[in-house]
Amino acid sequence: MEDNESRKSKNKILINMNQNEDNLLLKDLKVIDAGSFIAGPVSTTILSDFGAKVIKIEPPKTGDSLRHLMERTKRVNPYSKENYSWHLTSRNKQSLALDLNSQEGQEILKDLVKESDVFVTNMPKRIRDKLKINAMDLLPLNDRLIYGSLTGYGEEGPDSHRTAFDTMAWWARSGLMDIVRPSDNSLPANPPIGMGDQPTGVALYASIMTALYRREKTGKGGEVHTSLMANGAWSNGSMIQAGLFGANFPDRKEPFPLHPFGGRFETKDGRFLLLAIIDAAKEWPKFLKVMNLEYLNKDERFSSFKNLNSNFRELYKELEKEFLKFTLDEISNKLRPSEVTFGVLSKSTDHAKDKQFLENEILVKFDETSFASETLTVNSPVFLKGESKRLPKRGPAIGEHSKEILFNLGKSAEEIEELKQKGIIDF
């Protein structure tokens, strides 16, 4: 049941979401999204949030493979009547169902490129070669074009041609999959959908915006790129840097916390709370006071920080017993005013009621035409003071905007119908 506070928070989340698209920062930007699945298209989703007109090119009839992900993985992933991955990554975009294998499709693409500011693809190199959509193919058509590419393993090297999902390139190749294992004997974890795709898409967005800034200074476009592997390495940067400096890594033989100040504690209702007390001299006394545990100071095992470190296992067990006396909400309410550093382990079903997510516009409403009921979506993590974002609209149907886009390119109704009959476009 939704409480009044959550309802009030939801009503606040449209403050910086704008239905008047004439006021949006990137309203004059025209973008071609020739990507698929998640990572590449995420970058254009963020551009669209700030007002860019994004034309998504996808194959006729079948569309982007992301459209089919939920159905294909429903045995292991959440299932919904709405295609959640599609609407998150494809919101605000126009769909042009176009066969790029055909000569007519190539000509339409070239016409679009000539009047666009940004072209984005995360297709593998061999596909780009086949479809003639490499930077060398498109940049000569428009000297102001920003060409953005995203790969699994980078544009160069022995693995540059290989296909990859974030599971392999971002999560595994970077070492993140290994470093999060509680012990060396633990099996590697399976990451959720898009765990590495989403942040990598943000990096491509940043690269595109940097190139647009350069264009403002030089008048010229150019090529930008990033990879899942590079972003995984950046996410695991501290550990990789440790390896580069020849650091000694401790053995991970058992999943036991190194000290009680950085533990994960189960609560009475089966949830988990995390402590991360770095400045123990300042925060530990506050923690003991707010939890009514000051009696532990009288225990010889815990009477000094030296003793605490020597007997951290025993202390951890004492704290485990205390945390099990309270629910997650009860513990959170105790700790929140104390200045003790802690966090809650959220579930994916918690966020719609989380006031912190709502009031900071991390979750925002879809526009009223998108869905029958009031539905939230995850906002892109880029915020500019004084600049609003577009009110999110649902992801498009396959070829939903094909007619409109081709009309704007000067095609007649007869020409558009002929292209459809040939299977070059779809709507």
In a domain, 117, yes or no: yes
Are residues 287 and 152 located together in one domain of the fold?
Answer: no
pLDDT in the model for residue 254: 62
Does residue 132 surpass a pLDDT of 90?
Answer: yes
Residue range 112-139: mean pLDDT, rounded = 97
Among 316, 344, 372, identify where a domain stops: 344
Here the CATH number for the domain that contains residue 415 is: 3.40.50.10540
As a whole number of angstroms, the distance between CA 151 and CA 162 comes to 9
- The answer to whether residue 15 scores a pLDDT higher than 80 is no
Cβ contacts of 177 within 8 Å, gap of 6 or more: 171, 188, 189, 191
What domain range includes position 282? 260-344
The CATH number of residue 311's host domain is: 3.30.1540.10
Q: Are 191 and 332 members of one domain? A: no
In a domain, 5, yes or no: no
* The pLDDT value given to residue 253: 72
Domains: count for the chain: 2
Residues 196 and 279 grouped into a single domain: no
**257-276 tens-digit pLDDT:** 667 788 899 999 999 999 99
Boundary of a domain, candidates 344, 371, 403: 344
Are 65 and 172 in the same domain?
yes
Residues 52-105 have pLDDT tens digits of 999 999 999 999 999 999 999 999 999 999 999 999 999 999 999 999 999 999
- Regarding whether 284 and 394 lie in a shared domain, the answer is no
In a domain, 361, yes or no: no
Element housing 223 (H / E): strand 222-227
pLDDT at 251: 81
Query: In angstroms, how far is the first alpha carbon of the chain from the final one?
Result: 41
**Res 152 pLDDT > 90:** yes
Does the pLDDT value for residue 325 go beyond 70? yes
Taking only the tens place, the pLDDT of each residue in 292-311 is 999 999 999 999 989 988 89
Residue 2 has a pLDDT of 57
Q: Residue 263: its pLDDT value, please?
A: 86
| Closest listed residue to residue 26, CA positions, set 224, 200, 204, 209 | 209
CB atoms near residue 366 (< 10 Å): 18
Residue range 347-374: mean pLDDT, rounded: 94
The pLDDT, as a whole number, for residue 19 is 64
Q: Looking at residue 273, what is its pLDDT?
A: 95
Q: How confident is the model at residue 5 (pLDDT cuts 50, 70, 90)?
A: low
The pLDDT assigned to 305 comes to 87
What integer best gives the mean pLDDT of the chain? Answer: 93
Sign of the CA dihedral with 103 first, then 108, 113, and 118 last: negative
Residue 183: the pLDDT is 82
Q: Does residue 153 sit in the same domain as residue 21? A: yes
- Does residue 156 carry a pLDDT above 80? yes
Regarding whether 416 and 385 lie in a shared domain, the answer is yes
Residues 48 and 111 in one domain: yes
Q: 48 lies in a domain? A: yes
199 is a domain residue? yes
- Give Cβ neighbours of residue 116 (< 8 Å, ≥ 6 apart): 30, 31, 32, 55, 142, 145
H-helix segments, 139-279:
166, 176-179, 197-218, 228-235, 237-244
Furthest C-alpha separation in the chain: 89
With pLDDT > 70 as the criterion, what percentage of the chain qualifies? 94
Q: What is the mean pLDDT of residues 7-19?
A: 58
Tell me: do 400 and 300 sit in the same domain.
Answer: no
62 and 186 co-located in one domain: yes
**Same domain (yes/no): 89, 206:** yes
Q: Which of 14-18, 327-331, 358-362 has the lowest mean pLDDT?
A: 14-18
pLDDT tens digits, 193-219: 999 999 999 999 999 999 999 999 999
Instruction: Mark out the alpha helices in 134-196 (DSSP H runs).
Output: 135-138, 166, 176-179
* Digit-coded pLDDT (tens) for 103-119: 999 999 999 999 999 99
Decide if 367 is inside a domain: no
Report yes or no on 135 lying in a domain.
Answer: yes
Q: Give the residue from 287, 316, 344 where a domain finishes.
A: 344
Report DSSP state, residue 172. I
Q: Report residue 369 CA to chain centroid gap.
A: 25
In a domain, 333, yes or no: yes
Q: Is there a single domain that holds both residue 198 and residue 332?
A: no
